Each structure stands twice: as C-alpha cells, then as structure tokens.
Amino acid sequence: MPTEVHPSPTSAPSSAAPAVIELRGITKRFPGVVANRDIDLVVRAGEIHALVGENGAGKSTLMKVLYGMYHPEEGQILVNGVPTTFRGPNDAIAAGVGMVHQHFMLADNFTVLENIILGSEPRSAGRIDVQAARDRIDKISGDYGLGLDPDAIVEDLTVADRQRVEIAKVLFRGARVLILDEPTAVLVPQEVDELFEHLQEMTAEGLAIVFISHKLDEVLKVADAITVIRRGTTVATVDPGSVTARQLAELMVGSELPKPDTRESTVTDVVQLSVTGLSLSAPSGKAILDDITFEVHRGEIAGFAGVEGNGQSELVEALLGLVKPNSGRVVVDGHDVSTDTTSERRNLGIAVVPEDRHRQALLLASPLWENRVLGHTHDERFFTSWGWMKRRAAVADTVRIMSDYDVRAPGADSLVGSLSGGNQQKLIIGRELESDPSILIAAHPTRGVDVGAQAAIWDRIRTARARGLATVLISADLEELIGLSDTLYVIYRGKLVAKLDPASVTPQVLGTYMTGAATKEASA
C-alpha cells in the first residue's frame, strides 16, 4: 500500500533525525565478481544524501538493490528501522522508495497528469477519478514548488520540466525516499540551481533524497551527507562542510583528479575544415541547422556547447554526409565534400566518435576486432585491395589498441556488448585515432566513462591535437569543453549564437548563452 504523503515538519537534518533507510553490510555478487560488498548506508529523513563514485564503482548496482531490482546475497535493508525484503520495484514503491531515472520514462503525447497517474490511476466506480488525481497533483506541485501544469502535453515541455514530472510521478506514488540517478546530467547550470531548490523544499517537508552524481561541486553544494563508494564498497560518509572537492575526488579514485587543460596553443593557420552557411530544416519547415559557419584549423579544438537537442546531432550528421543539408558547403582540407558520401568523407581522414556508442559506433554482438575495422574497411592494413579481410592483422591491431588504450576485455574476440561503457568508449577512441585522421568529430567523447578513463581520453585528444588534428568537440560537460577547446561556439536552436574564448568564459556565462538568454553573433 502506498503511504500517504503527509507533510510532516522536521527540523533541520541532524544525526538525530530518524533513519528512513538503512543498509547494513549489503553484498551483491554476480558470478565471478562482487559488485557490492559490505555496503553500509544510512539515509535520514530530511536530508539530501549524495552517493558519489566512479563509473563502475557499484552505484548503479546499489541503487538497484535499494529499488528492489536486485536481491542482495548478504546484508539487510531496514525501512524505518524494520528489516524489509524487496522482491521487486513494487515492494520498494510500497515501502515509500521511489526512483527518478536518468532517462525519462514519459509518454510524449500524454499530458502531465496522464503521465503522472499512468500505472497508479486513482479510481472511483471503475473509472479513473481525474478530479482526485488533479487535486493530488496540484497539492504535490504546490507543496514542493514544482509548478506543474497538469494539462500541458509532455512533448512541449523542457527537459527540466520533464524531470519535475518524473519527480512528481514518484511523489504521487507516495515515496518518502527519492533516488535521483544523475539528475543534473541533462540540465544547464541555471536549471540545476532550480532543481536544488526543489530538492531542498522536499527535504524541508521531511522527505529523504538519495542523490547520485559525478559532479563533486554540485554534491558539495547541495548534499547534507556524502557517501563515497569505491570498488564496490562504501569507503566513507563525510560531512560536505568539512571536505573539499579534491579530498572527495581522492576518496573516489584513490588518486588525484585529472583536469582537462590544454592551455599552450597548437593552433596553426591551416584551415582543415571549413563549413559555410550550413542549413537544414525539418519537413515541417522548422530550422534545425540555421546558417552554420565556422572553421577549424589544424591543431585546433573547436568546442560546441549547447543544451542537447539544439542541432548538435544534426550538425555531426551533416558533416558526415548522413543527412543532406538544404544548403551550405563543407570543405575538408581544400576539397569540397558537400556532395560526397559518408565513405568518401571518412576516407579523407574524418574520424568520428558518435554521441550514442551503442547505436552509432558499435556492433555489440560482434567481437572487438570486428569493431576495430568497422569504419576502416578501406584501411589497407586490414583489407587487401581486392577486399579480402586480413583477419590476423586486425586481431593484432586490436590487441595493440587494447593495451595502448587500456581497454579491459578478456580478448580481441570477446563480444563488445559485454564490455563496460568506459571500455567500449576507449576502444572507439583507439580505433578512430589510430587511423591517423586529420579531422576528429567527437560527440561527448567521455560520457559515461570513469575519471581515470576520462583523463586518458583527454590526453589522447590533446596529443593528437599537438600533431595537427582538427577537432570538432561536442559535449554536455562544460568543464570538458572549456578545458579542452581552443575556440568555443554556443549552438542554440540550430544557430551559432556565440563564439567565445574558453580562457575567459565561465560555466555560468556559457549557460546564459545556451538557454538563449543572451546572444553574441558568432563570426568565423
């Protein structure tokens, strides 16, 4: 039974507040490995409890245990002090534990109200009691300042709005403990601040929030307690007032946190990639790319900042020749490639790290070495001029990339789908950079990889830049953009609205441009 949402005034979080969720010695094994061992976690009412750790440290497994999706072999879960066993997410929801997933699970063509009640519709006389639902949603929205319009169609909402709908969905089901999985990954800085305000209103009402994040500055800003997880176990629970970001990072990785930093300029005068007046419109006539013009020189990293969905994906596709723009020219190293096929462009030395590695970069059910040659079938190291595959050479080169790029896998003939995201990404980076490209188009090159791998990838891109690689870098990680780029563009609604100097820009300023609040005409 869902518990009713009663706003119960609670004093400021202190260790005296009752523990709503307590994990004691949780161990979850998968055959051959221990994903979680001896996890101890105490989440108190009225606190934001941050859970930080590298990718692959065991956060997701822990959250799945807490949400009833996995069953631990050892240890206890206590809800309000009572030992409880979750047989599935339904049990967790019944016990007041709700999860806001990183990827929204909303029906776009439904209204906010319909999405919120979907699956737990209040009924009266066999029909959905819309009025009761509306009253409850209004109350939730009012209590926590979510500002929801129950009749808005989800399709029309911004990302931040959708996230609030997801939160309301969980609250509607009576959750007293909210698990938020990387909630800030999709938000711009201003929206992050808003989210934090909402979270604080919720904790003021006595709810508990488990906040999973990579971003240490955010964690330090918002959390009341921070638990660090490393290699499957909880290493420390610290008070944010008494640690620095650096100390936290060291707890996470056991070593120093790397920074993307490429200050000494390697930019040359040679234009490697030149894009002029690139425009693309949707069938509806809406502009997706609007007169995009820029140049990338040899040895230059041109960063593109923007909230996802403002034309970045289409820009990459247009550069690769996967979509045909309505107008505009793309010139690679003096050759006009505007009418060339993807294959012809790639053979001119364009390397690609696509934004969605599973969909666009990998054959998950194929071995590593076949993925190594994907996109490089005209490389004479791997294919004879007659098109005969040189298997042994491909396998040997894959083994080399595995060791040079620290791709951890049992062997070159393991299936790529069984690798962790970070290892998959390292394989892609290795495959693309080892073909000696002149242009790299990298979309979110370090998304979902751990801190160590991230540093290694940055290093590789920097080294290639020093050798004269021209890079188009698209990223949602503003620190990465500012740290790596020589030139920074902001893309908003398909238009380049600003050209900025990364040396003097702050994430806050970038955020202002990214939300369209300010414009500064870009001139290439």
> Which residues lie near other proteins (CB under 8 A)?
28, 30-36, 56, 58, 60-61, 64, 69-70, 88, 231-232, 320, 322, 341-343, 345-347, 352, 354, 358-366, 370, 373-378, 383, 387-389, 391, 408-410, 414-421, 423-424
Q: Smallest gap, in angstroms, from Cβ of residue 407 to other proteins? A: 10
405: phi then psi, degrees, rounded to nearest 5: -105, 10
In the DSSP assignment, the letter for residue 257 is: P
Euclidean distance between CA atoms 451 and 321, whole angstroms: 33
CA proximity to 508, closest of 241, 471, 500 = 500
Closer CB to other proteins, residue 151 or residue 380?
380
Q: Say which residue the tokens 């909630």 belong to.
A: 183
Q: Smallest gap, in angstroms, from Cβ of residue 431 to other proteins? A: 10
CA proximity to 240, closest of 256, 216, 258, 257 = 216
Residue type, 65: V
- 234 and 41 Cβ atoms separated by less than 8 Å: yes
Q: Smallest gap, in angstroms, from Cβ of residue 255 to other proteins? A: 16
CA proximity to 179, closest of 74, 85, 43 = 43
Q: Smallest gap, in angstroms, from Cβ of residue 207 to other proteins? A: 27
Euclidean distance between CA atoms 47 and 43, whole angstroms: 7
Closer CB to other proteins, residue 231 or residue 335?
231
Q: Smallest gap, in angstroms, from Cβ of residue 32 to other proteins? A: 4
Closer CB to other proteins, residue 61 or residue 310?
61
Euclidean distance between CA atoms 179 and 162, whole angstroms: 16
Closer CB to other proteins, residue 67 or residue 294?
67
Q: Smallest gap, in angstroms, from Cβ of residue 240 to other proteins? A: 26
Q: Smallest gap, in angstroms, from Cβ of residue 129 to other proteins? A: 31
Q: Smallest gap, in angstroms, from Cβ of residue 384 to other proteins? A: 9
What is the greatest pairwise CA distance in the chain?
Answer: 76
- 352 and 441 Cβ atoms separated by less than 8 Å: yes
Euclidean distance between CA atoms 334 and 424, whole angstroms: 33
- Sequential DSSP letters for 7-38: ----PSP-TTSPEEEEEEEEEEEETTEEEEEE
Closer CB to other proteins, residue 9 or residue 31?
31
Euclidean distance between CA atoms 508 and 487, whole angstroms: 17
Closer CB to other proteins, residue 113 or residue 473?
473
Closer CB to other proteins, residue 20 or residue 362?
362
Closer CB to other proteins, residue 67 or residue 513?
67
C-alpha dihedral, 182 to 187 to 192 to 195, nearest 10°: -70
Closer CB to other proteins, residue 29 or residue 139?
29
Which H or E run contains 197? helix 189-204
CA proximity to 509, closest of 188, 218, 209 = 188
Q: Smallest gap, in angstroms, from Cβ of residue 289 to other proteins? A: 18
In the DSSP assignment, the letter for residue 393 is: H
Q: Smallest gap, in angstroms, from Cβ of residue 410 to other proteins? A: 5
Cβ neighbours of residue 186 closer than 8 Å, sequence gap 6 or more: 102, 159, 163, 308, 476
Q: Smallest gap, in angstroms, from Cβ of residue 25 to other proteins? A: 17
Closer CB to other proteins, residue 55 or residue 512?
55
Closer CB to other proteins, residue 223 or residue 316?
316
Q: Which residues face 212 on adjacent strands?
A: 51, 181
Q: Cα dist. 500→124, 424, 522 in Å?
A: 58, 32, 8
Q: Smallest gap, in angstroms, from Cβ of residue 424 to other proteins? A: 7
Euclidean distance between CA atoms 321 and 328, whole angstroms: 12
Closer CB to other proteins, residue 164 or residue 372?
372
- 400 and 409 Cβ atoms separated by less than 8 Å: no
Euclidean distance between CA atoms 353 and 442, whole angstroms: 5
